[in-house]
């Protein structure tokens, strides 16, 4: 079937964090925080979920499960069909098989990350990440009262690359225990090469570090681009891979993810410490299975539509804000845009665009750990008409601010 990604969907009154939770999440404020825009006048480009309807086969699978009428305690320990669906998807898309015995489950990659850091690290130990980084990497570390090191990525032309000398220097420090990786990388959208992943794995192995690979964005690639799972390029035993159909198919609220743990002892500890005591949501299971079994047609059309949105942003910035630095990333539906040439004096970019443009977005070091000053992250998974309006608003605000600076 042909999907309509231009459809405008009203998300009000659905308990959506996208529409109702931005004050707390972005600004750490309550409902008393006022803007010159009404809440429903904002264009939301901040949180990484989509403004697109979920694929029809997924919705139908949910309806069919609802029609079974009972939603009792649900477990996955005896299930084989879900693993078959996941494994078939991974073999077809990535040329990689998922060993069933290594497969664990969590309500999400973030909860799994919190639990894994707790199991792997003691309070006097450290974790390592590259920056800019997904903010919850830092939060998971801070929550567990351990220290962290950041290795800044290097902008090499149009691509972010790893400073491997710096990464190894930090990895070798006393007390270092864990590398938290993102593959593909959020927020830059970089797709790591086999060689890059092998070099990271070699560093982890050399210093006996655990390696957690967050691969939640692995399905969201530009047309023609391939994802390489970390687990495909190394047999390193201290590797954990976190994946889900939730990001790719816009069903994060169903709270279900695949946590693939090679080490038997860590795997058993993860299961023993599971705060959900192995229970899962029955709706989530059928939705994710349907995504793997029947979602490819929807995803292919989505990727084509997103490619068009990225081209729109690239062309718009080149024409209207030519000092902005942006290249279309190989993965994600997130644009990582450098606006330092225009807004180097603006300390809080999310606040600036909320007040001056009516656009909700994320950016800067506070939200992306470090190496992110002057950058904004824009979620482009929205109807093109909405995206065009957002860009026009942002341009107007940026140029007005630049004019004020010149006076």
DSSP string, 87-141: HHHHHHHHS----GGGEEEES-HHHHHHHHHHHH--TT-EEEEEES--HHHHHHH
Question: Are 320 and 311 in contact, with CB atoms under 8 Å apart?
Answer: no
Query: For residue 22, how far is the Cα from the chain centroid?
Result: 17
Query: What is the helix (H) or strand (E) element at residue 389, kind and residue range?
Result: helix 384-406
Q: Are residues 90 and 101 in the same domain?
A: yes
User: Any idea what DSSP says for residue 77?
Assistant: T
In a domain, 48, yes or no: yes
d(CA 1, CA 89): 20
Share above pLDDT 70 across residues of the chain, in percent, rounded to a whole number = 100
Q: Are residues 202 and 342 in the same domain?
A: no
Whether residue 88 is preceded by a cis peptide bond, meaning omega within 30 degrees of 0, is no
Mean pLDDT of the chain, nearest integer:
97
Q: Are residues 290 and 300 in the same domain?
A: no
Q: Which of 277, 294, 311 is the last residue of a domain?
A: 294
Q: pLDDT per residue over 214-236, tens digit each?
A: 999 999 999 999 999 999 999 99
Tell me the pTM. 0.97
d(CA 141, CA 315): 39
Token pair, residue 351, equals 């606040």
Q: Can you give the CATH number for the domain in which 375 is found?
A: 3.90.1150.10
Q: Are strands 126-131 and 159-161 parallel, antiparallel or unpaired?
A: unpaired
| H-type alpha helices, 144-185 | 164-171
Q: Which of 265, 294, 323 is the last residue of a domain?
A: 294
Query: For residue 117, how far is the Cα from the chain centroid?
Result: 18
Q: Are residues 85 and 231 in the same domain?
A: yes
Beta-strand ranges (E) seen in 183-300 are: 210-214, 239-243, 257-261
221 to 128, 137, 290, 341: CA distances (angstroms): 26, 22, 20, 29
Q: Are residues 402 and 385 in the same domain?
A: yes
Whether residue 345 is predicted with pLDDT greater than 80 in this model: the reply is yes
pLDDT of residue 42: 98
∠ CA 240-241-244 to the nearest 5 degrees?
145
Where residue 157 falls among pLDDT bands split at 50, 70, 90? confident
In a domain, 222, yes or no: yes
Across 333-341, average pLDDT: 97
If you write DSSP's letter for every residue of 310-366 in order, what string do you get? Answer: HHHHHHHHHHH-TTSB----SBSSEEEEE-HHHHTT-S-HHHHHHHHHSEE-EESHH
The neighbouring-strand residues paired with 221 are 331
Q: Are residues 120 and 214 in the same domain?
A: yes
pLDDT of residue 405: 86
Q: Can you give the CATH number for the domain in which 183 is found?
A: 3.40.640.10
In a domain, 162, yes or no: yes
In a domain, 64, yes or no: no
pLDDT of residue 390: 98
24 to 19, 101, 143: CA distances (angstroms): 11, 40, 18
d(CA 315, CA 329): 14
In a domain, 10, yes or no: no
Residue 264 lies in domain = 71-294
Q: How many domains does the structure of the chain reveal?
A: 2
Q: pLDDT per residue over 55-104, tens digit each?
A: 999 999 999 999 999 999 999 988 899 999 999 999 999 999 999 999 99
In a domain, 196, yes or no: yes
In a domain, 66, yes or no: no
d(CA 372, CA 374): 6
Question: Are 341 and 321 in contact, with CB atoms under 8 Å apart?
Answer: no
Question: Are 295 and 58 in contact, with CB atoms under 8 Å apart?
Answer: yes
Query: What is the helix (H) or strand (E) element at residue 178, kind and residue range?
Result: strand 176-182
Q: Which of 260, 294, 328 is the last residue of a domain?
A: 294
Tokens 């939060």 appear where?
139
Q: pLDDT per residue over 246-263, tens digit each?
A: 999 999 999 999 999 999
Q: Are residues 217 and 288 in the same domain?
A: yes
Q: Are residues 138 and 33 in the same domain?
A: no
Q: Is 167 exposed, middle or buried (0-12, 13-18, 19+ CB in 10 A)?
A: buried
Whether residue 380 is predicted with pLDDT greater than 80 in this model: the reply is yes
Q: Are residues 106 and 246 in the same domain?
A: yes
pLDDT of residue 74: 97
In a domain, 7, yes or no: no
Whether residue 151 is predicted with pLDDT greater than 90 in this model: the reply is yes
Q: Are residues 128 and 221 in the same domain?
A: yes
Token pair, residue 396, equals 């107007």
Q: Are residues 246 and 261 in the same domain?
A: yes
Whether residue 407 is predicted with pLDDT greater than 90 in this model: the reply is no
Q: Are residues 115 and 159 in the same domain?
A: yes
pLDDT of residue 406: 85
């Amino acid at each position: 079937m042909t999907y309509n990604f231009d459809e405008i969907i009203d998300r009000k009154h659905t308990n959506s964090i996208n529409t109702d939770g931005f004050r707390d999440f972005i600004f750490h404020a309550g409902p008393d925080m006022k803007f010159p825009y009404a809440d429903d006048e904002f264009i939301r480009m901040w949180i990484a979920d989509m403004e697109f309807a979920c694929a029809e086969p997924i919705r139908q699978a949910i309806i069919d499960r609802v029609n079974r009428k009972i939603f009792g305690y649900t477990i996955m320990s005896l299930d084989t069909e879900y693993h078959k669906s996941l494994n078939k998807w991974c073999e077809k898309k990535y040329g990689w098989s998922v060993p069933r015995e290594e497969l664990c489950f969590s309500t999400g990659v973030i909860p799994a990350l919190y639990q894994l850091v707790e199991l792997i690290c003691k309070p006097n130990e450290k974790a390592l990440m590259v920056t800019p980084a997904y903010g919850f990497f830092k939060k998971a570390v801070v929550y567990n009262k351990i220290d962290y090191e950041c290795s800044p990525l290097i902008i090499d032309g149009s691509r972010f690359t790893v400073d491997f000398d710096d990464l190894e220097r930090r990895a070798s420090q006393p007390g270092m225990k864990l590398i938290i990786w993102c593959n593909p990388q959020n927020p830059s959208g970089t797709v790591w090469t086999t060689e890059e992943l092998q070099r990271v794995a070699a560093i982890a192995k050399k210093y006996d570090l655990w390696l957690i690979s967050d691969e939640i964005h692995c399905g969201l690639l530009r047309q023609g681009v391939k994802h390489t799972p970390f687990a495909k390029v190394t047999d390193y035993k201290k590797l954990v891979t976190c994946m889900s159909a939730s990001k790719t198919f816009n069903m994060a609220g169903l709270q279900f993810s695949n946590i693939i743990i090679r080490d038997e002892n860590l795997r058993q500890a993860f299961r023993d410490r599971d705060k959900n005591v192995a229970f899962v949501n029955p709706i989530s299971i059928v939705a994710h299975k349907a995504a793997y079994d029947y979602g490819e047609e929807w995803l292919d059309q989505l990727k084509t539509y997103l490619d068009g949105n990225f081209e729109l942003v690239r062309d718009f910035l080149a024409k209207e804000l030519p000092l902005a630095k942006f290249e279309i990333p190989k993965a994600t539906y997130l644009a990582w845009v450098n606006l330092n040439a225009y807004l180097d004096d603006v300390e809080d970019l999310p606040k600036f665009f909320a007040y001056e443009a009516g656009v909700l977005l994320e950016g800067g070091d506070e939200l992306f750990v470090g190496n992110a000053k002057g950058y904004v992250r824009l979620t482009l998974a929205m109807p093109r008409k909405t995206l065009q309006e957002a860009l026009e608003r942002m341009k107007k605000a940026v140029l007005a601010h630049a004019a004020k600076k010149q006076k």
